[in-house]
Amino acid sequence: MKKSLGARTLVFPTPAWLVGSYDGEGRPNAMAVAWGGVCCSHPPCIAVSLRKATHSYASIMERKAFTVSVPSEAYVREVDYFGIASGRDVDKFAATGLTPVRSTLVDAPYVGEFPMVVECRLLQTVEIGLHTQFIGEILDVKAEESVCDTQGAVDIGKVLPVVYAPDVRSYHGIGRTLGRAFSVGKGVGERGGKP
């Protein structure tokens, strides 16, 4: 029996990413976001939503660029800190000891220590309400060699990304592999019923 929980942003899973940008003074900054996701395959695009009140909002509007750094679970405390503090008040990179690396493709920094990063040029902004959505065209994905398998593909079991559970406000790791996509579901319909 389902019960109604009301109109709220409660859905699983959502990501825990750091969105990097340079502010008006050229200082590297980043903020934690859970409101976002891939939004197009061609061109490859990712969307992140930010409130106008954030320091990052003006930075991305001005520089027309941002990065999405994917943390491994070892950095969950730093990720949380990047969501608590504001770049207006403090240099979050200095405070955490993380390294802002200048992208050579877009005018934005990413987190050097994180295993994966996505570099984006701002393609479009969408006004929704409290949040503005920034749609970025992915110009490159970079990953540490240590998280790639022998075929060169990125191994999620080595990246160990962080899942955020909104509303209940908790961070979670990745669990066991459940199967291959476009594969485990083959034949489900052929038996004409619940497998």
For residue 173, the tally of other CB atoms under 10 A from its CB is 11
Which span (19-27, 58-66, 184-192) binds a second copy, by CB under 8 A? 184-192
DSSP state letter for 12: S
> Contacts with a second copy in 123-162 (CB under 8 A)?
123-124, 126, 128-131, 133, 135, 137-145, 148, 153-156, 159, 161-162
The tokens 């476009």 sit on which residue?
Answer: 182
Which whole-number Å values give the CA distances from 130 to 54, 83, 84, 126, in the listed order? 11, 17, 18, 11
DSSP state letter for 193: S
The residue from 25, 26, 150, 179 that contacts a second copy (CB under 8 A) is: 179
- How far is 149 from 168, CA to CA, in rounded Å? 34
- Tokens of residue 149, six digits: 């398998």
- Tokens of residue 111, six digits: 């987190």
Between 34 and 65, name the residue whose CB sits nearer to a second copy: 34
> Contacts with a second copy in 64-83 (CB under 8 A)?
68, 70, 73, 76-83
Q: Is 4 in the site for a second copy (CB under 8 A)?
A: yes
- How far is 183 from 150, CA to CA, in rounded Å? 22
Q: Is 116 in the site for a second copy (CB under 8 A)?
A: yes
Q: Is 53 in the site for a second copy (CB under 8 A)?
A: no
Which span (1-9, 22-30, 53-61) binds a second copy, by CB under 8 A? 1-9
> Contacts with a second copy in 15-34 (CB under 8 A)?
15, 17, 34
Chain centroid to Cα 140, Å, comes to 14
User: Shortest distance, CB of residue 25 to a second copy, whole angstroms?
Assistant: 19
Which span (22-30, 58-66, 170-178) binds a second copy, by CB under 8 A? 170-178
CB 109 within 8 A of CB 102: yes
User: Shortest distance, CB of residue 149 to a second copy, whole angstroms?
Assistant: 9
User: Shortest distance, CB of residue 109 to a second copy, whole angstroms?
Assistant: 13
CB 66 within 8 A of CB 60: yes
The residue from 60, 106, 118, 150 that contacts a second copy (CB under 8 A) is: 118
